[in-house]
Amino acid sequence: MSTLLGCIADDFTGATDLAGLLARSGRKVSLRIGLPEGPSDDPAPFEVIALKIRTAPVDTAVAEACAALDWLRAAGAERFFWKYCSTFDSTPEGNIGPVSEALMDRLGARQTIYCPAFPENGRSIFMGNLFVGRQPLAESPMKDHPLTPMRDSNLMRLLEPQVTGKVGLVDRLCVAQGAEAIRAELDRLAGQDIAHVVVDAVADADLDAIARACRDMALMTGGSAVAMPLPDLLAETGKLREGASRPEQPRLAPEAFVASGSCSAMTRAQVRSFLDAGRPGFRLRPEDLDRDGIGPARDWLQAQDLTQAPLVYASADPDDVRAAQDALGVARAGTLVEDALAELAVLARDLGARRFVVAGGETSGAVTGALGVARLDIGAEIAPGVPWCYCNSAGAEIALALKSGNFGTEDFFQGALEKLDER
């Protein structure tokens, strides 16, 4: 079977989020880590390519996304989805807008939508403004993100500096009228040469209507939730005949490793909860890594009982993050942490760990790269947008949970490990 929907994600946790929601349909979803090498001899109807381009230079992000698009087209895809964070993580330079325009140009698409809403996880859009729970984006903890601080809640204002085309809005009043009204409004905006359209959504029913209105678009963009209805909508065309094919959950040894590089408010709460429950933990500080290297962390991990799921974390409050960035530079502070967590994950695997919980998009990219993971099978969800995934690393069957910083409840780490033992 050839691919029906090809998806490109700007980071690894976002890719697993999208793959997990698509897999709710019971249909086969393949998640590929990084740009695949060579053509696929086993394409899934829903293919997701996880890139690490959220904060990459714009030219690099565009080039990698276009290469992923070419691979997906060769696999047979005719419809495409560009997935970014539900908090629209970006800067005035990109990378959401520039990648969208490059993909549109390659596909000959005159228009696309932007809908990062994920009501199930508290992300909603009203009159073009993005909310995190009840807080406007610019008043949420995202205002202090170390790489992409979000200081405006209006998606149109955030998008306009990133694109060359006109930006418009399909508001909640139109969305509430259903798919036909949305489609008519998109056509009206297209007649005004408005290529980039933010679409309001405050409930799952809105997402269903938006997906139905846009299912024939060559390219849709947004968070994972607006893509969730697409498998069933594509099945209505008669092209999708494959039934449920969720992979069998392997039986894995109890040894585990938890790595946290995210500094989001929720991840910091999850770290505290895990440590308060008596789990062993080691904090990585960029300044210590710069001075002493990874040796102390390696020594600590080698002395741990991996059945207790030791946690290594760099999660810190905004003041500590800024202090490290001021001392070392933003790029070096981040690289020191990512490289250390990646090396420690490999050590944990070599010591027998077969269950890995990883928090943070950049951290997940570093860890999966170090473990040599090329393709993941999607299993059961731990929390909305966070599934367990299964793969092979250096000949060992392992399970990976790659969590976006803001996702999950405070007991996520413990709950993830318990979920893996459910049958």
Strand 29-33 and strand 46-50: the pairing is: parallel
Q: Residue 242's pLDDT is what?
A: 54
Query: Is there a contact between 417 and 253 (Cβ–Cβ < 8 Å)?
Result: no
Nearest to 152 by CA among 166, 142, 163: 142
Q: How confident is the model at residue 226 (pLDDT cuts 50, 70, 90)?
A: very high
Sequence-ordered list of residues with C-beta below 8 angstroms from that of 201, at least 6 positions apart, any chain: 115, 117, 119, 124, 125, 172, 175, 207, 210, 225, 226
Query: Is there a contact between 405 and 361 (Cβ–Cβ < 8 Å)?
Result: yes
In 201-354, DSSP assigns E strands to 219-222, 256-260, 281-283, 311-313
- Each residue's pLDDT tens digit, 56-88: 999 999 999 999 999 999 999 999 999 999 999
Q: Among the ranges 35-44, 302-311, 327-336, 358-367, which has the highest mean pLDDT value?
A: 302-311
Residue 114 pLDDT > 80? yes
Domain ranges of the chain: 5-235, 256-420
**Between residues 84 and 377, the one the model is more confident about:** 84
Query: Is there a contact between 365 and 12 (Cβ–Cβ < 8 Å)?
Result: yes
CA triple 204-206-212, angle to 5 deg: 105
Using the structure block, give the residue that is written with the tokens 């530079």.
Answer: 329
Residue 131 pLDDT > 90? yes
Using the structure block, give the residue that is written with the tokens 């696929």.
Answer: 40
Q: How confident is the model at residue 12 (pLDDT cuts 50, 70, 90)?
A: confident
Residue 171 pLDDT > 60? yes
Q: Residue 248's pLDDT is what?
A: 65
Fold classified for 5-235: Rossmann fold (3.40.50)
- Please determine whether the domains at 5-235 and 256-420 fall in the same fold group of CATH: no
Q: Residue 286's pLDDT is what?
A: 96
Fold classified for 256-420: Molybdenum Cofactor Biosythetic Enzyme; Chain A (3.40.980)
Q: How many helices (H) and strands (E) are present in the chain, helices listed first? A: 15, 18
- Identify residue 151 by its one-letter amino acid code: R
Residue 368 pLDDT > 70? yes
Answer yes or no: pTM beyond 0.85: no
